[in-house]
A and B are shown apart, each in its own frame.
Chain A
Amino acid sequence: MVDNSNKEVIWNFFAHFILIVFAVICIIPMVITISVSLSNELDLARNGYSLFPRIFDLSAYRYIFKAPNALLNAYGVTIFITIIGTILGVLCMSLISYPLSRSDFKWRGIIGFVVLFTMLFNGGLVPTYIMITKYLKLRNNIFVMILPIIVNAWNIFLLVTYMKEIPASIVESAKIDGAREIVIYSRIILPLSKPALATIALLLSLRFWNEWYTALLYITDQSLLPLQFWMQRVMRNMQFLLMNQDMMGGDAISVNDLPSESVKMAMAVLAAGPMMLVFPFFQKYFAKGLKIGGVKG
């Protein structure tokens, strides 16, 4: 027995050790980014980046919020596409998932295939680009960052898997009571699928919050740049900030001690932060919502 519990202790130590190493690897880049964003620029230049700020300094954030219009506008665009996109996406995908989870739905096979096929085959970047710009005329339209993304096979697949586990007898008894399908969907299926819906909502809002690829392709209008893409542009050209400063007629900071490194990191923190704060509210649903078929309990 003693031997056994010894083994247990060693195993536990070993398991925690590996998991902690991985956890540290996951988290260190974020710690450094936050640390640099709160550091003094001169100190960074002299002593290099470090895990914790040696000289605590908020000037990077102060600098960004001196001329916040572009940033706030980008936030606005991102918040808009995240909220509208997530609502539309969860609605469309839960609507199609319910019929696909019903084994007595006659066209389940063909519709399931239509959905699945989009996962296996696509027209490719160029035909999609031509379609969207030439025929749908969605260039510089905010919905180009929403509509192509709201339905995807993978999320439907997660939802269907979850809904299949709802006992058929519940649906049957509602049918006997004469409830219409839309009522069964909204009154019974939706409330019972909460963990899966929360998971999908989080994954979707993540997609929208981090959206920059479609913007790279289709958005040139300054007022429609989403947060991540706006940031990417600013990074590529810090000159942009200098120009902004010139236009604002700012004279407090000369070009030389412009806090460019810490500003970059501060922007990364500002762009990633809000999603990080949202996460804990969804987390409890995850272990249930991310289940894929195959494992039978």
Chain B
Amino acid sequence: MENSPNLKKLILKDNRKRNLELFWLCVPALLVLLIFNYLPMGGIVLAFKNFKPLKGVFGSDWVGFKNFEFFISSLQFWKVTRNTLLYNAMFIVLTPMLAVSFAILLSEMNKGTYVKIYQTIFFLPYFLSWVIVSIMLYAFLKTENGFINTILISAGMDPVKWYIRADLWPYIIVFMGLWKSVGYNTVIYYAGLMGIDPALYEAASIDGASRFQRIFRITIPMLTPIIVILMILGVGKIFFADFGLFYTLPMQNGLLLPTTDVINYYTYRILIEVHDIGMGSAIGLFQSVLGLILVLTSTWLAKKIGSGNNSVL
């Protein structure tokens, strides 16, 4: 007993040493994050400056909120913001609805082999880059000889000029966005379903619960935390459009811009074509700040409403 203070000291020393060792393991990843995620955050000051390459980031003159005013008063502002928000809202709502439904159907299958085959097929679209998807879509929508128009003609209907009809593109974009991501999300939810304690289902079946009672009383409540996490992350990204989706599928066709232009594509053009560094930075800050506010609000709401422990890390 007399050397117990010594032992304690030894354990403390060991703990401190281990803590430091653990910290060193974090260093490589932290360095990457520092350079590629945190340093650019410093560039946010550009949003308040009139950037002149010769003067550099910190030497350029301050202009206050001028860049934001330019963005908000520009003709594009409402269009790109509206498009971005509407598309993302559709994705945030429809993706979990479809993916959870498919995951539940998969989990109610009693043959494992089918599940594997379905999972593999559902996952395939996620494997393709938007560049490839845009080529595939082109095979479908091409005005002459495209797959859909070939069918329309053989059914005695008029072919549709898909690549000049801006009014049709909201449907095409939503469909393709879902097409690429629902399968991946289905696998995520299915993985979550596999983690549910089978005893819950056994108890339910002993109590004579029907299939639908099982789904709505056990499965969906157990999945809610995952749905909430993914939706909150989606809400945080609601001002960020998937650049590849909107850049490649309409093939940078000006005629389609009224319904396919989004904030990220607009920022890209501001940067690459107009070289307006100040306004480009202002748009980025606008997206990030609003996104952050929305994440914090929705996390707070989710906690308030109840499901409680949604702590992400």
Contact = CB atoms under 8 A, between A and B. Distances in A.
Interface string B31-43: 0110111111111
Interface centre among A119, A147, A157, A268 (most CB of B within 10 A): A268
A81 interface: no
A290 B191 contact: yes
A217 B129 CA distance: 17
Contacts of B182: 22
A122 B40 contact: yes
Interface in B82-128: 101-102, 105-106, 108-109, 114, 116, 118-128
Tell me which of A93, A126, A272 has the highest count of chain B C-beta atoms within 10 A of its own C-beta.
Answer: A126
Residue with the greatest number of chain B CB neighbours at <10 A, chosen from A123, A265, A288: A123
Contacts of B147: 32, 48-50
Given A50-B150, A232-B248, A92 B28 contact: yes
A48 B43 CA distance: 51
A129 interface: yes
A294 B229 contact: yes
B271 to A, nearest CB: 5
A43 to B, nearest CB: 10
B76 interface: no
B188 interface: yes
Nearest to B151: A48
A84 interface: no
Interface stretch (B1-9, B165-173, B194-202, B254-262): B194-202
Q: How large is the interface on B (under 10, 10 to 19, 20 to 34, 35 or more residues)?
A: 35 or more
Interface residues of A, number: 107
A65 B137 CA distance: 24
B62 interface: no
A131 B43 contact: yes
A136 interface: yes
Nearest to B184: A290
Contacts of B281: 124, 126-127
A95 B223 CA distance: 29
A295 B225 contact: yes
A66 B173 CA distance: 36
A126 B280 contact: yes
B74 interface: no
Contact of B125 (A26, A131, A232): A26
A240 interface: no
Nearest to B279: A126
Q: Which among A44, A280, A293 has the greatest number of chain B C-beta atoms within 10 A?
A: A293
A127 B42 CA distance: 8
Interface of A: 11-12, 15-16, 18-19, 22-23, 25-27, 29-30, 32-33, 36, 44-45, 47-50, 91-93, 95-96, 98-100, 102, 104-107, 111-116, 118-131, 134-136, 147-148, 150-151, 156-157, 160, 175, 180-182, 185, 206, 209-213, 217, 228-229, 231-232, 235-236, 261, 264-265, 267-268, 271-272, 275-276, 279-280, 283, 286-297
Given A98-B25, A157-B312, A268-B135, 10 more contacts: A11-B108, A23-B122, A128-B40, A130-B46, A135-B39, A151-B32, A210-B129, A212-B244, A271-B132, A272-B132
20 contacts: A11-B211, A26-B121, A30-B124, A92-B29, A92-B32, A100-B313, A118-B38, A121-B288, A124-B40, A124-B285, A126-B280, A127-B43, A210-B129, A235-B134, A261-B139, A268-B136, A287-B187, A287-B190, A290-B188, A292-B229
Interface of B: 14-15, 18-19, 21-23, 25-26, 28-30, 32-33, 35-44, 46, 51, 53, 56-57, 101-102, 105-106, 108-109, 114, 116, 118-140, 142, 144-147, 149-150, 153, 179, 182-183, 187-188, 190-197, 211, 222-223, 225-226, 229-230, 233, 236, 243-244, 248, 251-252, 264, 267-268, 270-272, 277, 280-281, 283-285, 287-288, 291-292, 295, 309-313
